[in-house]
Amino acid sequence: MDDLTIVAIRRRIATKITDLDGFSPARLQPADPNDIADDERQLGFSFPPLLKRIYTEIGNGGFGPGYGLIGLTNGVPDDTGKTGPAIYRQLRDGASEDPFCEWPERLLPICHWGCAILSCVDCSDPNFRVQIFDPNVHDGDDWADAFFEESPSFEEWIGAWASGVDLSKLMYGEQGHITQLLAARNSIP
């Protein structure tokens, strides 16, 4: 399945490198496997094997859903100039804007959607499920209300995007699952 996903990603980025208009590198640069190994060692956890293949065989960020995958060390950063590991460390170290936000261990930001919304891969989960962090819907002291299940696995998530699924619409469209969850949350007295 991984080989088919890699082929599908290459086909998708040949027509449009990212879903949203944003910074895209002039040329995709594959990641150095040693940089990935260093990131894993420094963060203390392993990344999904398919994610590592995508970074080493296609490019170290700058393509994909939303504004594109956020690169690892020496890769394409997000719009704030930070790579995925740098964002993770900043959030884990409590350097976020809200001192009450406790970032979950092994939840690696991999994609930026704008408005501080991040898709993240849960590297503590054997299927590497994908969660979305949306601080714009947070209300109260407990930040658990800002995290949503996005996909049961990284492979399904990136495979859906590679096959042409509009992940933004799937989440936030009129019938999107996060839109429905928020509507249900707001209707509770």
How many CA atoms lie within 13 Å of 39's alpha carbon, on the beta-carbon side? 27
CATH classification at residue 136: 3.40.1580.10
Residue type, 108: L
Is pLDDT at 98 greater than 60 in this prediction? no
Distances in Å between the Cα of 81 and the Cα atoms of 4, 34, 48, 74, 163 are 31, 21, 23, 11, 29
The residue to which tokens 């849960």 are assigned: 122
Q: Which has the higher per-residue pLDDT, 27 or 178?
A: 178
> Is the pLDDT reported for residue 123 higher than 80?
yes
Residue 176 placed within a domain: no
Residue 70 lies in a domain: yes
Domain assignment present for 66? yes
- Kindly state whether residue 34 falls inside one of the protein's structural domains: yes
182 belongs to a structural domain: no
pLDDT at 155 over 70: yes
Q: What is the pLDDT of residue 56?
A: 97
Residue 60 lies in a domain: yes
Contact 35, 84 (CB under 8 A): no
In a domain, 179, yes or no: no
* Domain-located, residue 189: no
pLDDT in tens, 50-79: 999 999 999 999 999 999 999 999 999 998
Structural tokens at position 175: 């019938």
What is the percentage of the chain residues whose pLDDT exceeds 70?
92
- Tell me the residue range of the domain where 11 lies: 2-162
- Looking at the structure of the chain, the number of domains it has is 1
